[in-house]
A and B are shown apart, each in its own frame.
Chain A
Amino acid sequence: MRKACIKNITVFTPEKVLTNNDLGEEFDIEPDRIFKDTGIRNRFVSAKEELASDIAVSTGEKFFVENPDIKRSQFDVLIYTTSALDYVGPATAVLIHERLGLSKNCLAVDLPMGCAGFTHALTVAKALIENGTATDILLITSDMPTKVLHSKDYHLRSIFSDAGAATHISTSGKFEIGKLAFGTDGSGAPNLIVNGSGARNPIDQDWLDLYKDEGGLLIGRMEMNGIEILKFSLREVPDLFKTVLIENNLQKSDIDLFIFHHASEVILKFLAKKLEISSHKVFSCLENYGNTVSASIPIALSEAIKSNVIPANSCIFIAGFGIGYAWSGTILKTTEL
C-alpha cells in the first residue's frame, strides 16, 4: 500500500513584528506582564496590502527556492487552507496556482478551515496519495488573523499572528502520516467567529458607522469567548488523543513528542496536565510566533526539526483544534530526518 508522508516544510512570516514593547506602550501594560500572561514575545503582522493569499504565494516561492530539485510541474494537487479567502469565487487556490505557475493538470482546491486546517487537510492529502489519485501534493496553509482584529482587543492582539507554511506531501519523506481521527461540533460556532465576513450578517451602514475609526473592519471582526474555547480544547483534545492512539494501535508511552495547535499558553499547559504528559514532551514555539491559526502545526514541526528535538524512529502526536468547533489529529512517524 502506498504511504503518505510529509517531505518538506517551508515557513514564511511577514516582515513586521509586533513585540511586547509595542503592545505594552499601546495598552500601558508592562512588557514582562504580557509575556507572563501569554508566553508570547513576537507576533507577525501582514502589511496592509498583503493578504493571506499573498503570504501563501510568498511561502510557495520560498519553498521552491529552498527545494531547487522540486519542479513546479510535478504537483498533482494544491490544497490551500485558510480562513481568509480572497473571494467567494473563484477559489483562492486557483489564484495561488496561477501565481505559482503550477501545472494545468494540477487540481487546486480551497479547504477553508482555521486552527484545524492543517490536520484536516492531511486527511484529504493522505487519502489522495494512498488511493493513487495524487503523488505530489502542495499543501499551503496561511492566515491573516490580525486583519480581523479590533485595535482595542488587547487579548486577541496579544495572541494572534500572521504566517504561512508550505508542506510537500508525497509517497516518501520525513514523516509518515498515520491514521487520522477528527470531529465537528457546530454548536461552538458563536464562541469563535469572524462577524461581518460573509453572506450571513454582511456589514451594513451601522457596522461602518460603529467601526469608522477602525477603517470600517471591512472584512469582519473576530470575536472569541476565551473561556468556552479553553473548555472545548480541554474536552475534545484528550478524547481525540485516545482515538488516534487506538486507530494507530499505539500506547501513550509510544508518543515521543506532542505538537498541539498553538492556541495559547494556558491551553498548551493544561492539555499537558490533562493528558498527564511531561511538559518537556510538548514542543512549542508559541513564544516566537504566537497563534498563527492554520500554519501553527507545520511551523512547529519545522522548528522542532531545526531544534533537533525529534529522535529517529519516533512518534509525534499532532492535533489541530479550534474555530467551528473542528478538530483532527494523527501520528507522524519519523522515517528520515
Chain B
Amino acid sequence: MITITEFIQKLEEEFDDIEQNSLTPSTNYRSIENWGSMHALIIIALVDTEFDVSLSGADLKNTQTIQDLYDLVVSKK
C-alpha cells in the first residue's frame, strides 16, 4: 500500500489544474479550485485502478479531507 504522500502525488497528477505540492493530508478535497462531479469520478477511478478498491458516492460524501479519503481506502484494502 502506498503512503499518503504518494497518494497525494497521484491525485495531483490526475487533476490537471492543480499545482504540484499544493495538496496536503488536511486539504478538504472539495475545496479544490473548480471542484466538480468530474473530480469525484476521477477519485473513484484512481482508487479503483491503483488500489482495486471500490468507493461509492456515499463513501465520498462521508469524507472531507484527503487524509479521510486515504484512511477509507486503507480500511477497504
Residue of B nearest to A270 (CB): B45
Expressed in whole angstroms, the Cα–Cα distance for A230 and B57 within the complex equals 11
Contact B37–A226 (Cβ < 8 Å): yes
Contact A266–B42 (Cβ < 8 Å): yes
Contact B45–A36 (Cβ < 8 Å): no
B56 to chain A: which residues have CB within 8 Å?
Answer: 227
Interface of B is mostly: helix
Expressed in whole angstroms, the Cα–Cα distance for A226 and B45 within the complex equals 11
Instruction: Looking at the assembled complex, report how far the CB atom of B62 sits from the nearest CB atom of chain A, in whole angstroms.
Output: 14
Which of A36, A225, A227, A274 makes the CB contact (< 8 A) with B49? A274
What does the 1/0 interface line of A7-39 toward B look like (CB < 8 Å)? 000000000000000000000000001001110
Expressed in whole angstroms, the Cα–Cα distance for A18 and B56 within the complex equals 32
Contact A155–B37 (Cβ < 8 Å): yes
Which of A33, A226, A273, A274 makes the CB contact (< 8 A) with B41? A226
Question: Which A-B residue pairs are the 10 nearest by beta carbons?
Answer: A270-B45, A37-B38, A274-B49, A273-B49, A227-B57, A266-B41, A234-B48, A270-B49, A230-B41, A227-B44
Q: Say yes or no: A231-B54 contact (C-beta < 8 A), given A266-B45, A270-B45, A270-B49.
A: yes
Residue of A nearest to B42 (CB): A266
Expressed in whole angstroms, the Cα–Cα distance for A33 and B17 within the complex equals 10
A155 to chain B: which residues have CB within 8 Å?
Answer: 37
Q: Say yes or no: A274-B48 contact (C-beta < 8 A), given A155-B37, A227-B57.
A: yes
Expressed in whole angstroms, the Cα–Cα distance for A38 and B16 within the complex equals 13
Question: How many of chain A's residues touch chain B, expressed as a range?
Answer: 10 to 19
Expressed in whole angstroms, the Cα–Cα distance for A274 and B50 within the complex equals 8
A235 to chain B: which residues have CB within 8 Å?
Answer: 54
Is the CB of B74 closer than 8 A to any CB of chain A? Answer: no
Residue of A nearest to B34 (CB): A33
Contact A36–B44 (Cβ < 8 Å): no
Q: In A229-256, which residues have CB < 8 Å from any B CB?
A: 230-231, 234-235
Contact B36–A37 (Cβ < 8 Å): yes
Is the CB of B32 closer than 8 A to any CB of chain A? Answer: no
A230 to chain B: which residues have CB within 8 Å?
Answer: 41, 44-45
Q: Say yes or no: A227-B40 contact (C-beta < 8 A), given A36-B16, A36-B17.
A: yes
Question: How many of chain B's residues touch chain A, expressed as a range?
Answer: 10 to 19
A234 to chain B: which residues have CB within 8 Å?
Answer: 45, 48-49
What does the 1/0 interface line of A37-53 toward B look like (CB < 8 Å)? 11000000000000000
B38 to chain A: which residues have CB within 8 Å?
Answer: 37-38, 266
Expressed in whole angstroms, the Cα–Cα distance for A274 and B49 within the complex equals 5
Expressed in whole angstroms, the Cα–Cα distance for A155 and B42 within the complex equals 15
Instruction: Looking at the assembled complex, report how far the CB atom of A158 sits from the nearest CB atom of chain B, in whole angstroms.
Output: 10
Q: In A262-284, which residues have CB < 8 Å from any B CB?
A: 266-267, 269-270, 273-274
Residue of B nearest to A276 (CB): B49
Contact A231–B37 (Cβ < 8 Å): no
Expressed in whole angstroms, the Cα–Cα distance for A36 and B17 within the complex equals 9
A226 to chain B: which residues have CB within 8 Å?
Answer: 37, 41
What does the 1/0 interface line of B9-45 toward A look like (CB < 8 Å)? 0000000110000000000000000101110111011
Expressed in whole angstroms, the Cα–Cα distance for A267 and B36 within the complex equals 16
A33 to chain B: which residues have CB within 8 Å?
Answer: 34
B36 to chain A: which residues have CB within 8 Å?
Answer: 37
Instruction: Beyond A230-B41, A273-B49, list 8 extra A-B contacts (CB 8 Å).
Output: A36-B16, A38-B38, A155-B37, A230-B45, A231-B44, A234-B48, A266-B38, A274-B48
Expressed in whole angstroms, the Cα–Cα distance for A269 and B16 within the complex equals 13
Expressed in whole angstroms, the Cα–Cα distance for A37 and B41 within the complex equals 11
Expressed in whole angstroms, the Cα–Cα distance for A38 and B41 within the complex equals 12
Contact B48–A270 (Cβ < 8 Å): yes
Expressed in whole angstroms, the Cα–Cα distance for A273 and B56 within the complex equals 20
B17 to chain A: which residues have CB within 8 Å?
Answer: 36
Expressed in whole angstroms, the Cα–Cα distance for A38 and B42 within the complex equals 12
Residue of B nearest to A38 (CB): B38
